[in-house]
A and B are shown apart, each in its own frame.
Chain A
Amino acid sequence: MAEHIITFDNDTPPVTAQTGTLLSEVIQGAAMTLNQPCGGQGRCGRCAVRVTGGTVRSRSTLRLSAEDVAAGYVLACQAVVESDAAISIPPQEKIERLLTTDLVSAEVEVPAGYDPRKAQNVRRVTLTLPPPTMDDQTDDWNRLLTALRQQADFGTVQASLEQIQGLGGVLREGDWQVTATLDAERWDCPGCPARLIDLKPGHTASEMPLWGIAVDIGTTTVTLWLVDLLTGKVMAQVAEYNGQIARGEDVISRVIYAGKNNGAAELRDLVLTTINTLLDTACKRVQAQPADVVKVVISGNSVMMHLLLNIRADSIRLSPFVTAINDIPTLAGREVGLNTHPAATVDCLPGVASYVGADITAGVLSSGLIDTEAVTLFIDMGTNGETVLGNRDWLVTCACSAGPAFEGGGVLDGMRATKGAIEEVWINGTTFEPTFRVIGGVKPRGLCGSALIALLAEMSLTGVMDKGGHINTHRDHPRIRTGEHGPEYVVAWANETAHNRDIVITNVDIDNLIRAKAAIYAGFSVLAERVGVPLETAEQVLIGGSFGKYINVEKAVEIGLLPDMPWENFHFLGNTSVRGAYLALLDREARARIQASAARMTYIELSADNTFYDAFTSALFLPHTDLSRFPSVQAAIVS
């Protein structure tokens, strides 16, 4: 058998190899380490190397993009030597970037051409007032109004009693130099007078930020972005579990809880505490004060919105499922209970119906669905599993209770995607040993959504569990054991973790995850069926959700969470709800567009007949009972 010489682009001396030798073996034989988390099965893509000279035969290029292949990349575990060859071994980070299926959520970019003077209804102006004299005994308020008219073009202005009470002091303290912040056009009242939000002595430097916040109140996670309204830049992003979780994991439990005794007030306090704490944290990062925040845009599902404002929500849960209000008028920070400026403008975005709230209308805007001609599937992988299908002409939407599993809720070692969370896992198909990556590169504390998706895929593919999600306890392996919650798989041993406890995934967790993914898949597949638009005809799939910074599309398809389509059709947008709130925070037009999309949206009630239930049980399997819906997974299983 022919021998070939393999050379490397680093200091490693050349080695010889026979025809048919796996490149991975050659590299290891040359005493180099090569990451093979999947155990050399061509599944993880971590052993990609570049062939710069000679030829190798590639058995599989799964997980490499066409461009990568064109550039000479191969998977070392799937490529065999056929001639002399020169191999370039990229550093590990480069491989990470190579993985075509890891979709990282897009960075926040300030909308092109953002001009606060045109788009922003909240404005800060510095004024110099002529001091009163014996000849000019104009009252303080009219003196201010005159300056506002002459120097900033404000016709009429409203103020609160409190502001008028403080007026004389502020004018004199600043020696007739003041900075006023006004809301020039309340969204719900275009012809109304401008409203004074804040009046400060002295002139605030024009480069000082003008603070606003965009808030998404998720059932499981609350996200807050602190934004400089002058530049449009997001200066801090923070997120935390919604404090209401302790009173029920899903919207229904919360509504029921709110209906009892003091429940509504308690739930309102809990979410306010969460928001105010996040506000505090975000402000500390940029040395600002919560009270400096003069504009707030809030997005969230209808129940969250009702509970925040302590509006009765019972009718949302009971047939015929109506909200008290979908489109809430402008409020002020103090009446909502926020620690922002007491007079800050608070805009709660409009929803469509009980189970299609502002989070979805905001998502439709920020995802671009509202503008596209292409039939688009937009999936919000949140607790309520909302899906929107359509394009700029028509939109249908549904919701299904997916639960908090993909945000780490209801999972024994689940956590949010923050530092210390395992975010990616591979399991070696021969040894059943896992390899994982932790956010922040520290010792792990738990598993976030993307790791849970990966675990389901890997455990199923390697036979650690069967396709029904039952861990195979017949397999004799120290990581597969029966714990107090039944069968479980140990992802990290106590001595590897930050809290010195084993990190495990239990059969109960797996059941919850499979139910969550089944609900989401059944939701959008039934939605598509109901309107008579086959899923395959969707030209793109937009994914929103607050479960992490990225989603591994391949694994999400492998477990049957996402439909089996070319990977380039998927776009992961991260938290689309807070993005929508952010856009509305910057641009008053954005809000009008959200309202317009809300009017066009048709809500489909999934529980009207058995089809959802049927689709759901069909999806309670990995990837799906009907494998023909997942041809690429079928091919992978066969190989």
Chain B
Amino acid sequence: MALSGIQIYKMLPQTNCKDCGFPTCLAFAMKLAAKQVELSSCPHVAEDAKAQLSEASEPPVRLVSLKANGHEVKAGNEVVMFRHEKTFYNKPGLFLRVKDSQPAGEIQAAIAEADGYCVNYVGRDLTLDGFAVEAVSGDAAVFAAAIAAVRQASHRPLILISTDPAMIAAGLRAVDGENPLIYGANTGNWQAMADLAKQHHASLAVIAESLDELADLTEKVKEAGVKDIVLDPAARNLSRSLALNTQIRRLALKKNFRPLGYPLISFPGEGGDPAQESVMAVHAITKYAGFIVLDHFAAETAYPLLVLRENIYTDPQKPIQVQPDVYEINTPGPDDPVLVTTNFSITYFSVANEIEGSGIPAWLVVTDAEGMSVLTAWAAGKFDAERIAKTIKSFNIADKVNRKRIVIPGHVAVLSGELEEELPDWEIRVGPREAIDLPSFIKQVL
């Protein structure tokens, strides 16, 4: 149970000694409550309080990490059901599956294409996270060869798929020194799988059709010495998967139910209809999957899924920013006005919506104000003449328009003088304070 700042404060010495680096004990307590500081920063806390406080900070969903050749994929450590409550922390790893029945050349080509895939989204390079290799041949040597083929084309972490311990043992030998995920353990093979996982420092997925069985299995596997466990509740359609993933997350978070306090794995391609794989993947991304294994790779599907994953795992507590850029609204031409605002999303949307709704074409220049609104950014020195001038210059606005004239928000009318100095050949106009007045301003004043 999370403690409030005041509750923690009452367990602290209350001397305001500042030894922790914060001005008061309450300030420190609130940082602790927000999990932004370690309890050990306070040298004076009593032992019993220490015990109480550290128990409250144990993560309800265990962090599981797959590693290979310097790559790492993490899942777990989640603390909320809904992203707005805090944030979702560890983006689900996206894996592509190949089978050892495919010819080595085909495997290598498929892996190479997917491994090299890198798409830029708002300045970030997005890629897949790893690969899953499934043993369907029934031949350990073939499986090992397939893994070797994968390793020819990619260094990313692997998931080894088979319920036969012999296959997995061969696979693990092929990736010695890595920390892959074994998929997986069931009621029949768990003992052997657990031994393998322990021996090779691998994580282990457990598979069961019901939550009762799943919880039994994780307890057994844990007893056998495996800590890094991943859950597959074996649901392959949307409705059932949604229900089970939700129940597992709830049990972990709200009931602190340790047997199901592990990340989930999802196989969207096993639903039958290939066109629905991406739809199933949407559900896996939004509803709690920690690892997602796809059966098809195509840029036109990977790109939207990678973007969705970025979006859902954006920290909602941070101001939402739009990309600094020149936004063309209602297809402007060289004679249309140039408007300037900040990159706080609400600010951007309210300005863009007003202009868009009015039908007036305009160039909307969004400056990087670290996601703050006009007034806040100005107050914090993030929206000043220098920054605006830099933006105007860096986006080469002068090349897009005939008339060098910009409109700044009315709230920062004071900047007009300085802007004239920074942009000597530009005309600076002060627009209205509120976005709603922009259309009439443009019509009547410009």
The interface of chain A, by Cβ under 8 A from chain B, is 248, 252-253, 256, 317-319, 393-394, 396, 401, 530-533, 599-604, 607, 609-611
* Interface residue? B369 (CB, 8 A): no
By beta carbon, the residue of chain A nearest B27 is A602
Q: Evaluate contact between B6 and A319: CB separation under 8 angstroms.
A: no
**Given A532-B4, A602-B24, A602-B27, residue A318 in contact with residue B381 (CB < 8 A):** yes
Q: B residues within 8 A CB of A601? A: 24
Q: Evaluate contact between A530 and B5: CB separation under 8 angstroms.
A: yes
Q: How far is the CA of A531 from the CA of B8 in the complex (A)?
A: 10
By beta carbon, the residue of chain B nearest A611 is B317
* Interface residue? B23 (CB, 8 A): yes
Q: How far is the CA of A191 from the CA of B194 in the complex (A)?
A: 76
By beta carbon, the residue of chain B nearest A247 is B414
Q: Can you list 29 pairs linking A and B with CB atoms under 8 Å apart?
A: A248-B414, A252-B378, A252-B379, A256-B414, A317-B381, A319-B380, A394-B6, A394-B14, A396-B26, A530-B5, A531-B6, A531-B26, A531-B30, A532-B3, A532-B5, A532-B7, A533-B4, A533-B6, A599-B16, A600-B16, A600-B24, A602-B26, A602-B27, A603-B23, A603-B27, A609-B318, A610-B317, A610-B318, A611-B317
* Interface residue? B316 (CB, 8 A): yes
Q: A residues within 8 A CB of B379? A: 252, 317, 401
* Interface residue? B406 (CB, 8 A): no
Q: A residues within 8 A CB of B3? A: 532
Q: How far is the CA of A504 from the CA of B16 in the complex (A)?
A: 51
Q: Interface code B16-47, partner A: CB below 8 Å = 1, 0 otherwise? A: 10000001101100100100000000000000
The distance from the CB of A51 to the nearest CB of chain B, in whole angstroms, is 49
* Interface residue? B267 (CB, 8 A): no
Q: B residues within 8 A CB of A604? A: 30
Residues facing A in B295-323 (CB within 8 A) are: 316-319
Q: Evaluate contact between B414 and A602: CB separation under 8 angstroms.
A: no
* Interface residue? B348 (CB, 8 A): no
The distance from the CB of B31 to the nearest CB of chain A, in whole angstroms, is 10
Q: A residues within 8 A CB of B4? A: 531-533
By beta carbon, the residue of chain B nearest A393 is B14
Q: Which 9 A-B pairs have the closest CB atoms?
A: A532-B4, A609-B317, A252-B379, A602-B26, A602-B24, A602-B27, A531-B5, A532-B6, A318-B381
**Given A317-B379, A531-B4, residue A602 in contact with residue B23 (CB < 8 A):** yes
Q: What size tier do the contact residues of chain B reach? A: 20 to 34
Q: Evaluate contact between B381 and A394: CB separation under 8 angstroms.
A: no
Q: A residues within 8 A CB of B9? A: 394
Q: A residues within 8 A CB of B378? A: 252
By beta carbon, the residue of chain B nearest A599 is B16
Q: How far is the CA of A600 from the CA of B27 in the complex (A)?
A: 10
By beta carbon, the residue of chain A nearest B18 is A599
Q: A residues within 8 A CB of B16? A: 599-600
Q: How far is the CA of A615 from the CA of B258 in the complex (A)?
A: 35
The distance from the CB of B384 to the nearest CB of chain A, in whole angstroms, is 9
Q: How far is the CA of A469 from the CA of B290 in the complex (A)?
A: 46
Q: How far is the CA of A253 from the CA of B381 in the complex (A)?
A: 11
Q: Evaluate contact between B317 and A602: CB separation under 8 angstroms.
A: no
Q: A residues within 8 A CB of B23? A: 602-603
The interface of chain B, by Cβ under 8 A from chain A, is 3-7, 9, 14, 16, 23-24, 26-27, 30, 33, 316-319, 376, 378-381, 414
The distance from the CB of A392 to the nearest CB of chain B, in whole angstroms, is 12
The distance from the CB of A613 to the nearest CB of chain B, in whole angstroms, is 8
Q: B residues within 8 A CB of A317? A: 379-381
The distance from the CB of A259 to the nearest CB of chain B, in whole angstroms, is 10
Q: A residues within 8 A CB of B7? A: 532
Q: Evaluate contact between A610 and B319: CB separation under 8 angstroms.
A: yes
Q: How far is the CA of A622 from the CA of B414 in the complex (A)?
A: 32
Point out which of A531, A601, A611 has the most chain B C-beta atoms below 10 A from its C-beta: A531
Q: A residues within 8 A CB of B414? A: 248, 253, 256
Q: How far is the CA of A253 from the CA of B414 in the complex (A)?
A: 9
Q: How far is the CA of A317 from the CA of B381 in the complex (A)?
A: 8
Q: How far is the CA of A141 from the CA of B330 in the complex (A)?
A: 85
The distance from the CB of A219 to the nearest CB of chain B, in whole angstroms, is 14
Q: B residues within 8 A CB of A253? A: 414
Point out which of A248, A532, A601 has the most chain B C-beta atoms below 10 A from its C-beta: A532
Point out which of B4, B5, B33, B317 has the most chain A C-beta atoms below 10 A from its C-beta: B5
Q: How far is the CA of A252 from the CA of B389 in the complex (A)?
A: 22
Q: B residues within 8 A CB of A394? A: 6, 9, 14, 26
- The residue from B26, B30, B319, B380 contacting A318, defined by CB atoms under 8 A apart: B380
By beta carbon, the residue of chain B nearest A532 is B4
The distance from the CB of B389 to the nearest CB of chain A, in whole angstroms, is 17
Q: How far is the CA of A531 from the CA of B9 in the complex (A)?
A: 10
By beta carbon, the residue of chain A nearest B26 is A602
Q: B residues within 8 A CB of A530? A: 5, 30
Point out which of B30, B33, B316 has the most chain A C-beta atoms below 10 A from its C-beta: B30
The distance from the CB of A54 to the nearest CB of chain B, in whole angstroms, is 54
Q: A residues within 8 A CB of B33? A: 532
The distance from the CB of A410 to the nearest CB of chain B, in whole angstroms, is 11
By beta carbon, the residue of chain B nearest A395 is B26
The distance from the CB of B211 to the nearest CB of chain A, in whole angstroms, is 33
By beta carbon, the residue of chain A nearest B86 is A609
Q: How far is the CA of A602 from the CA of B23 in the complex (A)?
A: 7
The distance from the CB of B184 to the nearest CB of chain A, in whole angstroms, is 39
Q: A residues within 8 A CB of B26? A: 394, 396, 531, 602
Q: B residues within 8 A CB of A256? A: 414
Q: Evaluate contact between B30 and A607: CB separation under 8 angstroms.
A: no
The distance from the CB of B5 to the nearest CB of chain A, in whole angstroms, is 5
By beta carbon, the residue of chain A nearest B384 is A256
Q: How far is the CA of A393 from the CA of B23 in the complex (A)?
A: 15
The distance from the CB of B146 to the nearest CB of chain A, in whole angstroms, is 48
Q: A residues within 8 A CB of B6? A: 394, 531-533
Q: A residues within 8 A CB of B5? A: 530-532
- The residue from A318, A396, A600, A610 contacting B316, defined by CB atoms under 8 A apart: A610
Q: How far is the CA of A638 from the CA of B24 in the complex (A)?
A: 46
Q: How far is the CA of A317 from the CA of B24 in the complex (A)?
A: 22
Q: How far is the CA of A239 from the CA of B443 in the complex (A)?
A: 44
Q: B residues within 8 A CB of A401? A: 379
Q: How far is the CA of A112 from the CA of B27 in the complex (A)?
A: 36
By beta carbon, the residue of chain A nearest B8 is A532
The distance from the CB of B287 to the nearest CB of chain A, in whole angstroms, is 23
By beta carbon, the residue of chain A nearest B346 is A613
Q: B residues within 8 A CB of A609? A: 317-318
Q: How far is the CA of A533 from the CA of B378 in the complex (A)?
A: 33
Taking A604-B30, A607-B376 as known contacts, 16 extra A-B pairs with beta carbons closer than 8 A to each other, sorted by chain A number, are A248-B414, A252-B379, A253-B414, A317-B381, A394-B9, A394-B14, A394-B26, A396-B26, A530-B30, A531-B5, A531-B6, A531-B26, A532-B3, A533-B6, A610-B317, A610-B319
The distance from the CB of B245 to the nearest CB of chain A, in whole angstroms, is 26
